[in-house]
């Protein structure tokens, strides 16, 4: 633990915030081409990481532009935290490469130390220094600046994170949400080009997580700071991420916007992992329609499979509408009251089940038979 603390201290005492001198001609060339092809802030190509004989990250590539807010989302053990540690310099890579602002920082024979990468980090356990006041925690990484300047920056960041009256307190006097805000302020103090956040809200209750995720996003956008955020919670990813990479077995299965991940999953794992939904059996009638236990459904795109091809159809809860006029009957297996809405689990005649989200004013009981219809604007089909 002591070694880990020293590593953190090195990051915040680094001098990466002081821009390296560059050739003026080189700067002019870069400025000229910036409007044509923006350089990637983070550029990872075909990265592999292993622990002993186990491959944890398997040929992963991703690219981020300056100012982008991105998330790595996936189940435990998929390799997302290892990716973050490799970017930070805590985890060596077996092959591939990591570049920051065009500079190679990791490869099979290059390993730039964490404190030389110019990154900010917000850890799951906050990693605040207990013996320092809140203001001194924030100013810890501002080496080389005067006491007056460190105080000015700390005061400005305390105001930014909504804690201007807490500068003289100590970490143990703060709540978990307040400690996370101070950890964010400390990471922002050296003005890093990229901020890495490792499950930063996992120790907080659900309501506070959602509120703090919204606040943190607003703070980062106001500062123009790019961030890569790791989480297993898709709601946090949807709030934080302009781009989201869904990870599984050490690879990014889809790198996309939240709405595309939800309505346009590229493969079956993404469809199962993102949102709530069910896959039901079907057969293609033609390129534009599919026969299912819920009747023939018109699709919003042409699929290339032959008529009669066996498929699985993805239906989200908002695709299934309770309808008294419908001849398609389902039995209610379960119901979950969610305030404004109720989520019903419905049994189909063939044994499949689907979910339906309805206004809680429509109150039905478990075991009751109801009519349903399909109203799916974004129908996704996978060949079985």
∠46-47-49 over CA atoms, to 5°?
145
Rounded to two decimals, what is the model's pTM?
0.82
Fold of 276-383: OB fold (Dihydrolipoamide Acetyltransferase, E2P) (2.40.50)
| Arithmetic mean of pLDDT over the chain | 88
* Domain regions of the chain by residue span: 1-39, 47-270, 276-383
What is the rounded distance in angstroms from the CA atom of residue 85 to the CA atom of residue 340?
41
Least confident interval from 20-34, 52-66, 353-367: 20-34
40: CB partners within 8 A, 6+ apart: 63, 64, 65, 99, 102
Mean pLDDT of 305-309: 93
Mean pLDDT of 288-316: 90
What is the rounded distance in angstroms from the CA atom of residue 71 to the CA atom of residue 74?
10
Which pLDDT tens digit goes with each residue over 207-256?
888 888 999 999 999 999 999 999 999 999 999 999 999 999 999 999 99
Instruction: Name the band, by pLDDT with cuts 50, 70 and 90, for residue 68.
Output: very high
Mean pLDDT of 114-134: 91
The answer to whether 248 and 74 are in contact (CB under 8 A) is yes
pLDDT of residue 87: 97
Q: What percent of the chain has pLDDT over 90?
A: 73
Q: What percent of the chain has pLDDT over 70?
A: 90
pLDDT of residue 32: 42
pLDDT of residue 38: 57
Mean pLDDT of 293-320: 90
Strand 42-51: give its sheet, edge to edge. 54-64, 42-51, 95-100, 103-106
Which pLDDT tens digit goes with each residue over 311-334?
999 999 999 999 988 999 999 999
Which pLDDT tens digit goes with each residue over 16-55?
333 333 444 444 434 444 444 458 999 999 999 999 889 9
CATH, domain range 47-270: 3.40.50.300
C-alpha distance from residue 37 to each of 27, 30, 46, 65, 101 (Å): 15, 10, 22, 11, 13
What is the rounded distance in angstroms from the CA atom of residue 91 to the CA atom of residue 50?
9
For the cut 90, the answer to whether the pLDDT of residue 124 exceeds it is: no
For the cut 80, the answer to whether the pLDDT of residue 293 exceeds it is: yes
Mean pLDDT of 92-108: 96
- The residue with tokens 């990229």 is 194
pLDDT of residue 84: 96
Pick from 250, 202, 212, 258: nearest CA to 69:
258
Which pLDDT tens digit goes with each residue over 148-179?
999 999 999 999 999 999 999 999 999 999 99
260: tokens are 């595309």
């Amino acid at each position: 633990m002591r070694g880990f603390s020293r590593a953190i201290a090195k990051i915040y005492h680094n001098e990466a915030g002081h821009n390296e001198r560059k050739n003026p001609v080189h700067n002019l060339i870069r400025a000229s081409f910036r409007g044509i092809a923006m350089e990637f802030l983070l550029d990872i190509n075909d990265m592999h990481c292993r622990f002993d004989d186990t491959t944890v990250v398997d040929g992963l590539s991703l690219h981020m532009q300056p100012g982008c807010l991105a998330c790595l989302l996936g189940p435990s053990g998929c390799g997302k935290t290892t990716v973050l540690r490799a970017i930070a310099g805590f985890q060596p890579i077996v092959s591939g490469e990591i570049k920051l602002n065009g500079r190679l920082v990791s490869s099979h024979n290059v390993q730039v130390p964490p404190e030389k990468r110019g990154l900010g980090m917000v850890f799951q356990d906050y990693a605040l220094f207990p013996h320092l006041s809140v203001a001194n925690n924030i100013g810890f990484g501002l080496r080389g600046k005067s006491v007056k300047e460190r105080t000015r920056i700390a005061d400005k960041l305390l105001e930014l994170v909504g804690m201007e009256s807490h500068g003289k307190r100590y970490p143990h006097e703060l709540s978990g949400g307040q400690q996370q805000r101070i950890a964010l302020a400390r990471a922002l103090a050296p003005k890093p080009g990229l901020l890495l956040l490792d499950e930063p809200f996992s120790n907080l209750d659900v309501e506070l997580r959602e509120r703090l995720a919204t606040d943190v996003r607003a703070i980062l956008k106001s500062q123009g700071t790019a961030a890569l955020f790791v989480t297993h919670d898709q709601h946090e990813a949807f709030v934080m991420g302009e781009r989201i990479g869904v990870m599984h077995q050490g690879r990014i299965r889809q790198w996309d916007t939240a709405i595309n991940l939800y309505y346009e999953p590229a493969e079956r794992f993404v469809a199962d992992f993102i949102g709530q939904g069910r896959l039901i059996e079907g057969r293609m009638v033609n390129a534009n329609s599919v026969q299912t236990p819920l009747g023939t459904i018109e699709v919003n795109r042409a699929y290339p499979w032959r008529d009669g091809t066996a498929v699985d159809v993805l239906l989200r809860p908002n695709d299934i509408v309770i309808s008294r006029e419908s001849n398609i009957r389902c039995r209610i297996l379960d119901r979950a009251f969610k305030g404004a809405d109720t989520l019903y689990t419905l049994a189909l005649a063939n044994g499949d089940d689907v979910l339906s989200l309805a206004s809680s004013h429509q109150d039905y009981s478990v075991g009751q038979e109801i009519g349903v219809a399909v109203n799916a604007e974004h129908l996704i089909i996978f060949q079985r």
